[in-house]
């Protein structure tokens, strides 16, 4: 296996572990507020919401030919998909028991997005030290 693949695998595992800790912390925060049931419903609903958001972006982009398809993809990805993502989480949070406010639902919807941005930043920041470490071991 190439050292680059090992680095990717190690970072992916570390990111999954960190995300699990984020979800545990988030759950404990909502449990303290007495809204763990509502949190669970919204967090589980994130999976089908993500698939629907992907379909909202992907299907029209595939139906459009040429470079316009790329424009449609980016346009929907940056406008419609975020609006749908947060609105769907808000609707699920509102119908949960106990109901969640818009801010609470938005925090649940935004936490994976913020985590992803932080993970990308950390991966970029650690790239040079990781390669230097591999070179010092004689693997790269």
Give the per-residue pLDDT at 3. 82
pLDDT in tens, 54-75: 999 999 999 999 999 999 999 9
- Confidence at residue 133, expressed as pLDDT on a 0 to 100 scale: 85
- Helices 102-137 and 80-95: crossing angle, nearest 10°? 120
- 124, pLDDT greater than 90: yes
The residue among 115, 90, 110, 109 whose CA lies nearest residue 101 is: 90
Segments making up each domain of the chain, as ranges: 3-137
């Amino acid at each position: 296996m190439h050292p680059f693949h090992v680095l990717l695998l190690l970072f992916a595992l570390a990111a999954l572990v960190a995300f699990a800790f984020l979800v545990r912390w988030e759950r404990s925060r909502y449990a303290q507020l007495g809204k763990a049931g509502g949190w669970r419903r919204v967090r589980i609903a994130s999976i089908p919401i993500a698939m629907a958001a992907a379909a909202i972006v992907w299907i029209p982009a595939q139906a459009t030919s040429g470079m316009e398809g790329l424009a449609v993809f980016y346009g929907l990805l940056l406008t419609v998909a975020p609006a749908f993502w947060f609105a769907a989480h808000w609707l699920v949070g509102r119908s949960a028991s106990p109901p969640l406010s818009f801010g609470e639902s938005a925090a649940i919807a935004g936490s994976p997005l913020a985590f992803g941005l932080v993970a990308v930043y950390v991966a970029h920041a650690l790239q040079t030290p990781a390669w230097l470490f591999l070179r010092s071991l004689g693997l790269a």
